């Protein structure tokens, strides 16, 4: 990482002809992020089961934590007093926090399909998961919700989300938005899009106020979140609206948006198309972050359509259940066939876990030893970080297409 800077900036590097793929550098007060980059998720100020320094040693350049969870426990005032998220978790590099909107909706509303990438049922604005209670309620001012921890009542507004994220102190923060799903009707999507736009105006105003009030802290970069589900006109409108909000805010002396996140549930087969719609409308010289994506074929699709950074809990979540990424596809190390397999998790991926065998991890999982999740998580995070790092290098070297095609051929050969 480079020496620290006072503000967050972005510079485009090498571009890939015929696509929107590019390399770049996001410079933050706590160092640089070479893009494209995968950002591991440390929801509660920890990438579950592993040491922060271990995550850095594997090549991760930044981590993303969640405002909702840290608000509930231990409380943003604790992190603020500690000097911010990075100091609190002993992470010296750049940090992100999401707005908390996703968790308020997904944990609180009990949506039947929150991050599904397929729309298989008829739209229904009131559908929730079977056996779940709706714990959150949205109005034009914000969201009232019950804690999933103890049932206590709380309220998030755009201003509250900004206040929490400023106390958390991440370099890159996101505007408070309403999560919609593929189950919502178009009419609801239209209304929600306007609600998110109005919330973004309030986020910018509060962010500007807090940036002055808290000028003794490293300056934070606020990124807008583009919603609109699978509708082209809504995605394009949201993008144009946020560009206009940025222009107006800067003309009035504000900080504007430092970048943009693309959020909401996306149909897998339309991922590239939707990202392309958004990037048709957003400025090329701003960084774009795709929220919640880590499947290899989706990563390549997103990169080619102009995405610079990604985050997702999947690599760590599946690791805790014994699922291991390899160049020849994902497999479950708890299967009986690996009981006496003394080879490494992936013979062609060099990382800390290369010194441990599949048989050893098989044993650890069967014995319910905590080290099983630690080693599997380290491997999976390394695998996805390395995948994106090699894609970045391939863009710079001019052999991206060859790298992509060979990777996908092997990874999905058994599918």
HEC secondary structure over 191-256: HHHHHHHHHHHHHHHHHHHHHHHCCCCCCCEEEEEECCCCCHHHHHHHHHHHHHHHHHHHHCCCCC
Angle formed at CA 259 by CA 258 and CA 264, multiple of 5 degrees: 140
pLDDT value at 113 more than 50? no
Q: What is the mean pLDDT of the chain?
A: 91
Q: In Å, what is the CA distance from 286 to each residue of 67, 253, 308? A: 23, 19, 9
22: CB partners within 8 A, 6+ apart: 12, 13, 14, 15, 16, 35, 306, 308, 395
Arithmetic mean of pLDDT, 384-413: 98
Task: Say what the pLDDT of residue 173 is.
Answer: 98
Nearest residue to 214 (alpha-carbon basis) of 84, 89, 96:
84
Q: Would you state the structure tokens that stand for residue 288, as one six-digit string? A: 């774009």
pLDDT value at 66 more than 70? yes
Confidence of residue 183 (pLDDT cuts 50, 70, 90): confident
Confidence of residue 294 (pLDDT cuts 50, 70, 90): confident
Arithmetic mean of pLDDT, 168-184: 92
Answer for the pair 345, 356: CB distance below 8 angstroms, yes or no. Answer: yes
Residues 68-100: pLDDT tens digits? Answer: 999 999 999 999 999 999 999 999 999 999 988
Arithmetic mean of pLDDT, 46-62: 96
Give the C-alpha separation, 394 to 23, whole Å.
10
Q: Where are the alpha helices (DSSP H) in 58-100?
A: 67-72, 76-82, 85-88
Task: Say what the pLDDT of residue 101 is.
Answer: 77
pLDDT value at 127 more than 80? no
Confidence of residue 114 (pLDDT cuts 50, 70, 90): very low
Task: Say what the pLDDT of residue 232 is.
Answer: 97
pTM of the model: 0.92
Buried b vs exposed e over 351-381: b needs ≥16 C-beta within 10 Å?
bebeebbbebbbbbbeeeeeebbbbbbbbbb
Task: Say what the pLDDT of residue 264 is.
Answer: 84
Residues 227-246: pLDDT tens digits? Answer: 999 999 999 999 999 999 99
Arithmetic mean of pLDDT, 253-270: 92
Residues 186-224: pLDDT tens digits? Answer: 999 999 999 999 999 999 999 999 999 999 999 999 999
pLDDT value at 305 more than 90? yes
Q: What structural domains does the chain harbor?
A: 37-312 (3.20.20.105), 323-411 (no CATH)
pLDDT value at 369 more than 60? yes
Answer for the pair 45, 63: CB distance below 8 angstroms, yes or no. Answer: no
Nearest residue to 134 (alpha-carbon basis) of 109, 112, 102:
109
Confidence of residue 106 (pLDDT cuts 50, 70, 90): low
pLDDT value at 107 more than 60? no
H or E segment to which residue 319 belongs: helix 314-319
- Residues above pLDDT 90, as percent of the chain: 81
- Percent helix / strand / coil, the chain, rounded to 5: 40, 15, 40
Which residues are identified as catalytic?
Answer: 98, 311
Arithmetic mean of pLDDT, 39-68: 96
Give the C-alpha separation, 354 to 103, whole Å.
35
The number of beta carbons lying within 10 Å of the beta carbon of residue 14 is 14
Rg (CA), the chain: 21
Q: Pick the residue with more confidence: 113 or 374?
A: 374
Residues 268-279: pLDDT tens digits? Answer: 899 999 999 999
- The burial class, CB within 10 Å (0-12 / 13-18 / 19+), for 91 is buried
Q: Where are the alpha helices (DSSP H) in 33-185?
A: 52-57, 67-72, 76-82, 85-88, 101-109, 158-168
My answer on whether omega of the bond before 293 falls inside 30° of 0, hence cis, is no
Confidence of residue 110 (pLDDT cuts 50, 70, 90): very low
Task: Say what the pLDDT of residue 265 is.
Answer: 75
Least confident of 83-87, 109-113, 142-146, 340-344: 109-113
pLDDT value at 373 more than 80? yes
């Amino acid at each position: 990482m480079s020496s620290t800077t006072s503000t967050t900036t972005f510079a485009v590097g090498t571009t890939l002809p015929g696509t929107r793929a590019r390399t770049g550098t996001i410079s933050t007060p706590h160092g640089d992020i070479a893009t494209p980059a995968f950002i591991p998720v440390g929801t509660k100020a920890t990438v579950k089961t592993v040491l922060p320094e271990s995550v850095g040693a594997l090549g991760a350049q930044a981590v993303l934590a969640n405002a909702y969870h840290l608000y509930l426990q231990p409380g943003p005032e604790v992190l603020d007093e500690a000097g911010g998220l990075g100091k609190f978790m002993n992470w010296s590099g750049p940090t992100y926090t999401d707005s908390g909107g996703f968790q308020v909706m997904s944990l609180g509303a009990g949506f039947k399909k929150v991050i599904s990438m397929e729309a298989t049922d008829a739209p229904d604005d009131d559908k929730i998961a079977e056996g779940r209670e709706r714990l959150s309620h949205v109005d034009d001012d914000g969201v009232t919700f019950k804690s999933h921890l103890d049932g206590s009542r709380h309220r998030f507004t755009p201003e509250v989300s900004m206040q929490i994220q400023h106390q958390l102190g991440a370099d890159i923060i996101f505007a408070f938005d309403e999560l919609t799903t593929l189950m919502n009707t178009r009419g609801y999507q239209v209304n929600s899009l306007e609600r998110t736009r109005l919330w973004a105006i309030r986020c910018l105003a509060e962010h500007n106020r807090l940036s002055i009030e808290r000028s003794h802290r490293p300056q934070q970069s606020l990124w807008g979140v583009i919603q609109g589900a699978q509708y082209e006109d809504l995605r394009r409108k949201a993008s144009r609206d946020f560009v206009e909000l940025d222009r107006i805010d800067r003309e009035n002396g504000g900080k504007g948006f430092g970048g943009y996140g693309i959020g909401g549930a996306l149909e897998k087969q339309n991922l590239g198309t939707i990202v392309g719609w958004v990037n048709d409308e957003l400025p090329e010289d701003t960084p774009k972050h795709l929220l919640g994506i880590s499947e290899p074929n989706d990563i390549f699709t997103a990169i080619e359509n102009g995405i610079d950074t990604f985050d997702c809990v999947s690599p760590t979540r599946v690791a805790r259940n014994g699922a291991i990424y390899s160049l020849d596809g994902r497999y479950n190390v708890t299967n009986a066939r690996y009981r006496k397999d003394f080879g490494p998790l992936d013979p062609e991926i060099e990382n800390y876990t290369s010194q441990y065998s599949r048989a050893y991890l098989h044993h650890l999982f069967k014995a319910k030893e905590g080290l099983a999740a630690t080693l599997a998580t380290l491997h999976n995070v390394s695998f996805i970080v390395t995948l994106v790092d090699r894609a970045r290098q391939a863009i710079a070297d001019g052999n991206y297409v060859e790298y992509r095609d060979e990777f996908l051929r092997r990874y999905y050969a058994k599918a």
